[in-house]
Structure 1
Amino acid sequence: MRKPVLTIFYQFNPWSTTIGGIQTLINIFIKYAPPEFAVRLVGTANDKTQPILKWQSAEFAGKEISFLPLFSLKNDNVRSLIPTTVKYTAALLGQCFESDFMHFHRLEPTLAALNWQGEKTLFIHNDIHTQMQTVRDKKAILWRRFPAAYFAVESLLVPQFSQILSCNTDAVKHYKERYKSVSDRVAYIKNSYDNELFYPLNQEEKEVEKRELAQKLGLPDDTRFVLFAGRLHPQKDPTLLVRAIAALNDPCVHLLIAGDGELAAQVRTEIDTSGLTGRVTMLGAVPIAQLAQLHRICNVFVLSSAYEGLPLVVLEALASGTPVVTTECGETPKLLTSNSGIVCRQRTSECIADALRKVLQHPEDYPIESCVETAQPYAARTVVRDIYSEMLNRWEQRVTFAVKV
């Protein structure tokens, strides 16, 4: 019996240093794919050595996959004038990559797949209702300028999916209520972190490696580190975070920003204007192994986002034994416990600064063990294994039924 084929569609190259929870989740699905499946990825090329629109065998995370780049994209961390999703959708039109299972992480590319045969799954990564209603920055998502058009397109495309899965319970509720004819196909899915990469150190090891990082950056040995990791994008509102560090006003606290994006220059300006040049380090996009190390040694991880789903980076921080400070958005507030982090009830620099101060001054209230325990149910080895097991069962049932017919 042949292997069932899973084709994953997303506008990135897994061999590049790329920022984003979607990319991380796809990498996890590839890494933890069982041998019963053949996995294909339709993505983008990171240089001219990868032939465009041609299937090629490749290895990622120890797994053999088939990879087809639709076009060349040098840096997917920064948006261009024409959104990458538009380019990706346009490149898909007229193609046919149907297979037993198809995973989509953006709605727009599924326009090309309307007539494709196979089981299609749409992953929803944000609370789309909140995302569309947020009024501060219309550039954060292009569709926000045309909400009626977005929902018209969504209404056209949603019926084709066998499953609509979201890591955000509010998004699940929204889709069930808005699309009652397919409500039985909408379900909650746990986001997952790679438990082979993200794990804690003991307290002694953590202190040793934290001192080494401080010395490497030319900082005092007693420096306490606050970590942000993610795309420098209006959704994440990194300038608010810089203002929170200014409001914290603690010379022993140093902010590490691991990420890149269109707001990088604006963040640097905010750092200079706030007089924080010596108290913030912008690391740019960092490889996943280096990010895991930062998670293990920092005192606290922080998010200042306007909207979220369930950020993988939160799970990664907790799994590394690091408490989380977050704004009140997405699924994180429902996940955090009183001894694994703090939810800021107001999205202001003062409120975020107060929460950071509390965690930094009372680390004993947020022990490593409590953080790890909070993240444990989301470990990839368990979550992804169960998803693939359900997929295989459905495929075997379909094959058995086809044979009988």
Structure 2
Amino acid sequence: MQKPVLTIFYQFNPWRSSIGGIQTIIRSFVKYAPDEFEICFVGTGADPAEKPLQWQEREYAGKQIQFMPLFTLQGDNHRKRVPISVGYTAALFRTCLESDFMHFHRIEPTLATRSWRGEKTLFVHNDIRQQTAKTDKRASLWRNFPAVYSLLERSLVKQFDQILSCHTGSLELYRDRYPELSDRISYINNSFDDAVFQPSSDRIIQRRLFAQKLGLSEDTQFILFAGRLQPQKDPVLLIQAIAALAHPNAHLLIAGDGELATEIKAEATRLEVRDRITLLGAQTQPEMAHLYQIANVFVLSSRFEGLPVSVLEALGSGTPIVTTDCGDTPRLLTLNSGIVCLDRLPTTIADALDRVLFNPDDFPSDACVRTVQPYSARVIVSQVYREMMARWEVRSHKRVMLSEARSYT
């Protein structure tokens, strides 16, 4: 029997370092795809020698997949003057890549897909209300044009057979806006790869070795931030919180890159905490796994979120969380796996970080791991594929029955 084909659409290159939870989710969908599916990925090229709009067979995570770059993109960790999504969408208008199943992680590219045949699924990763709110317009392009986004969404949303949201607020928003589509809209847990992100048995030793590598005291306590350095994540607020810390040996590790890197350094210099911060740049998945393991606490300073994959990875590595009150992270955390800051004051974040650093026994590693066990990528992704296969088999059976009926007439 012919294999069903899943085509995944997103503006990145899986073989290059790219910061973001969406990229991590897509990688899990490739890694844990069952052999019964053929996987195609439509992304961006990293090498000018790669020919755009041509399929090529590639290997990723031990699986053979079909890969098509729409254009060449040298790095996607910094926002461009012309958004990458614009070029990606324009390139899709030049072709038709319909297949049995199509997964989209942004709505803009589906301007080009309305006439394509096949089952389409939209994954909603963010808090849509906050994404289009009119506060701090730097945090999201759509904050400058909320009415345009609303019109775009309304014109595109009916083409989807499924809308899967990892944010409960966005789930409720879509069901309120589109009651006629309510049977297509459902919640999906974000997930993390628990084969990669696990606690370390020699955490203290590895932490000391890493401190030595940075030229820091062996008793340094590490606070870890991971993500794009952009207004949505508000890393500048985190720098202000570091300046308010009481813990004498705390050191902030920033894993990521983006447009605010220069502003972060300037703020750290202004507050005289430059020696308490290390900017590591974009990290590979194995490097991130090590950072989660040596960190004493993971911190999230975002203005808005869905359910960040970085939070799941940190918890899976046995590391407690301090987060602003945004997204679904507050719903996930237990009293002994993290702290939710109820306001966005630097002193509030600093107090929460101090509480974790001074009282590590109150936030044990095993409590963090227990909290995040239901979010294993192998379990969640496998379930999605099982449901897809069931629907495909039903459709295939109907096609056979229809063909046989026609042959008798």
> TM-score, normalized by length of structure 2?
0.97
Provide Cα deviations, 1:316-363, integer angstroms capped at 9, x if missing partner. 000000000000000000000000000000011111000000000000
Q: Shift in Å at residue 144 of structure 1?
A: 1.3
TM-aligned CA distance change 1:346 to 1:134, over 3 Å: farther
Which residue among 228, 232, 237 is the counterpart of 1:231? 228
Q: 215, 220, 228: which is aligned to 2:217?
A: 220
Return the alpha-carbon distance in structure 2 between the equivalents of residues 255 and 121 of structure 1: 38
Letter in 2 for 1:102: M
Query: Percent identity, aligned pairs only?
Result: 57
Q: 2:276 aligns with which of 242, 259, 279?
A: 279
Distance in 2 of aligned mates of 1:235 and 1:338: 26
- Write the letter of the residue equivalent to 1:83: P
**2:130 matched to 1:133?**
no
* Distance in structure 2 (CA, Å) of the matches to 1:185 and 1:208: 49
Partner of 2:299: 302
Q: Does the CA contact (< 8 Å) of 1:127 and 1:171 recur in 2? A: yes
1:233 counterpart letter in structure 2: Q
Q: Which amino acid aligns with 2:324?
A: T
Name the counterpart of 2:150: 151
- Alignment partners' CA distance in 2, 1:280 and 1:145: 32
Alpha-carbon contact 1:96-1:116 (below 8 Å) kept: yes
Q: Which residue of 1 aligns with 2:59?
A: 59
Question: Does structure 1 residue 171 correspond to structure 2 residue 180?
Answer: no
Could you list the runs of 5+ residues in structure 1 that have no partner in the other structure? none
Contact 1:98 1:117 in 2 (8 A): yes
Q: In the alignment, which residue of structure 1 is the partner of 2:192?
A: 193
Deviation at 1:134, TM superposition (A): 5.1
Q: Match for 2:169: what amino acid?
A: D
Aligned AA for 1:42? V
> Structure 1 residue 318 and structure 2 residue 315: aligned?
yes
**Residues 1:293 and 2:323 are matched in the alignment:** no
Deviation at 1:250, TM superposition (A): 3.4
Q: Tell me the distance in 1 between the aligned counterparts of 2:389 and 2:72.
A: 33
Deviation at 1:72, TM superposition (A): 0.5
Confirm or deny: 8 A CA contact 1:251 1:279 kept in the other structure: no
Give the aligned partner of residue 330 of structure 1: 327
Taking the aligned partners of 1:225 and 1:276, their CA distance within structure 2 comes to 14
Aligned to 1:261: 258
Mind listing any 5+ residue stretches in structure 2 that lack a counterpart? 403-409
In structure 2, what residue type is equivalent to 1:76?
A: D
TM-score by length of 1: 0.98
- Secondary structure (helix, strand or coil) at the match of 2:275 reads coil
> Could you list the runs of 4 or more consecutive aligned residues of structure 1 that deviate by over 4 angstroms after TM superposition?
none
Q: Distance in 2 between matches of 1:279 and 1:142?
A: 32
Post-superposition Cα deviations, 1:99-129, rounded to whole Å, max 9, x if no partner, equal 0000000000000000000000000000101
1:139 Cα deviation (Å)?
A: 2.2
Does residue 84 of the first structure (1) align with residue 81 of the second (2)?
Answer: no
Q: For 1:6, what is the secondary structure of its paired residue? A: strand
* Residues 38 and 65 in structure 2, CA contact (< 8 A), matched pair in contact too: yes
Does the aligned pair in 2 maintain the 1:120–1:161 contact within 8 Å? yes
Q: Deviations over 1:198-250 (max 9, x none)?
A: 00023xx1110000001000001100000000000100000000110001143
Separation (CA, whole Å) in 2 of partners of 1:263 and 1:180: 39
Q: Is the 8 A contact 1:6 1:101 kept in 2?
A: yes
Q: RMSD in angstroms over aligned alpha carbons? A: 0.8
Tell me the equivalent position of 1:116: 116
1:370 alignment partner in structure 2: 367
Deviations 1:269-293 (A, max 9, x none): 1111111121100000011100011
3-state DSSP of counterpart to 2:132: helix
Please say if residues 227 and 256 of structure 1, whose CA atoms lie closer than 8 Å, have aligned partners that are also in contact.
yes
Query: Could you tell me whether the CA contact under 8 Å between 2:247 and 2:358 is conserved in 1?
Result: no
CA separation in 1, counterparts of 2:367 and 2:246? 28
In 1, the alpha carbon distance for the partners of 2:192 and 2:387 equals 19
Distance across 2 between alignment mates of 1:240 and 1:142:
20
Which stretch shows the higher mean deviation, 211-220 or 42-51?
42-51
- Quick one: structure 1 residues 82 and 112, their matched pair in 2 at CA, closer, same or farther if it must change by over 3 Å? same
Contact 2:127/2:169 (8 A) holds in 1: yes
SS of corresponding position for 1:278? helix
Equivalence for 1:19: 19
2:405 — aligned with what?
none
